[in-house]
Amino acid sequence: MQALLEVSLAIERNEFVSIVGPSGCGKSTLLRLIAGLIGPSSGKVTIDGSAIDGPRRDVGVVFQAPTLLPWANVLDNVLFPLKILHRLAPDSPAKGRELLRLVGLSDFERKMPSELSGGMQQRTSICRALITDPDILLMDEPFGALDALTREEMSLELLRIWQEQPKTIFFVTHSVPEAVLLADRVCVMTARPGRIIEIIDVPLPRPRSYEQESLQEFQNCAKRIRQHIFGDAAASARTGAA
């Protein structure tokens, strides 16, 4: 079965791109293509002009579930990619601790994953993705399993990290406000077969905050996305309700 049809998307260095779309639109497939976890049946994905033929060192992935190793503590989980890549250096633990400090987990490096809340687990997994200093960060609905409050908190935290360590972020979500708030551009997809309907520029100034949700620019972007996904009438009803 064909999951994706004629998808064409160019992403700039250090750009933040969100992908929104209904379930089954192939946004996760697109992410896995870029991650090199699967190969395209036709066409190609390139990074800096070279085709992706497998997982790359300059790409980090954050999955929807934190997927932490239950037998390793927080710091060891963060250092896990370096171990696999044989890049564990004497200063690696310090670097891991610095990342944990960045996400507010300084006091938790010796804790086991089962002792952490869902949000803390996902923070750990973000640190793990960042430990290799990737140029590109692929995030597959990373906050999808978190409660609404934690979710807002985490997205702002992600923006702060992105500010401190600029990199290209490819952010898959099914939350429209989240997509708009975070991204420079929002890529809207529809289902069966999956394709990109429109790429919307978000003209909001940075730094962003959830207060910007009330701005007209924000509303316009959100409405346009919803129109693509749900159709015109449904979109205005939803906007009205919000």
Partner 1 sequence: MLPLLAVLILGVAWEGAVLVFEIPVYMFPALSVIWSEFLTNVGLVAGHTVATLGTVMGGFALSIAISVPLAVLIASSPLMANAIYPLLVLTQSVPKVALAPILVVVLGAGEVPRLVVTFLVAFFPLVTSLATGLLTTPADLIELGRSYKATWWQELVRIRFPSSVPFMFNGLKLAITFAVVGATVGEFVAADKGLGYQIMAATAFFNTPAAFGALVILSLLGIVLFQAVVIIEKVFFSWSTPMEADLQ
Residue ranges that bind partner 1, judged by CB under 8 A:
35-37, 54-55, 57, 59, 61, 63, 65, 67, 69-72, 80-81, 83-85, 112, 114, 132
Residues 150 and 158 sit within 8 Å (Cβ to Cβ): no
Min separation Cβ 73 and partner 1, Å? 9
Pick 7 or 62: Cβ nearer partner 1 = 62
Q: Residue 215 carries which side chain, given as an amino acid letter?
A: L
Q: How far is the CB of 88 from partner 1 (least distance, A)?
A: 12
**126, 67 Cβ separation under 8 angstroms:** no
* Residue among 79 and 179 whose Cβ is closer to partner 1: 79
Nearer to partner 1, 44 or 83 (CB): 83
Phi, psi dihedral angles at 61 (to 5 degrees): -120, 135
In the chain the beta strands, taken as DSSP E runs, fall at: 16-20, 46-47, 50-51, 59-62, 136-140, 168-172, 185-190, 195-201
Neighbour-count burial for 163-194, b at 16+ CB within 10 Å, e otherwise: eeeebbbbbbbbbbbbbbbbbbbbbbbbeeeb
What amino acid occupies position 192?
R
Q: Which is nearer to partner 1, 75 or 176 (CB)?
A: 75
d(CA 201, CA 159): 17
Q: Quick one: tokens of 161? A: 């990290």
Minimum Å gap between C-beta 71 and partner 1 is: 5
Smallest separation (angstroms) from partner 1 to the CB of 78: 13
Total Cβ atoms within 10 A of residue 208? 19
**Nearest approach, Cβ of 76 to partner 1 (angstroms)?**
11
Contact 55, 221 (CB under 8 A): no
What lies within 8 Å, CB to CB, of 151 at 6+ separation is 143, 175, 178
Q: Which two tokens stand for residue 27?
A: 């946004």
Q: How far is the CB of 32 from partner 1 (least distance, A)?
A: 9
User: For partner 1, which is the closer residue by CB, 21 or 81?
Assistant: 81
CB nearer to partner 1: pick between 36 and 119: 36
CB of 58 to partner 1, least distance (A): 12
Residue 50 β-bridge partners: 47
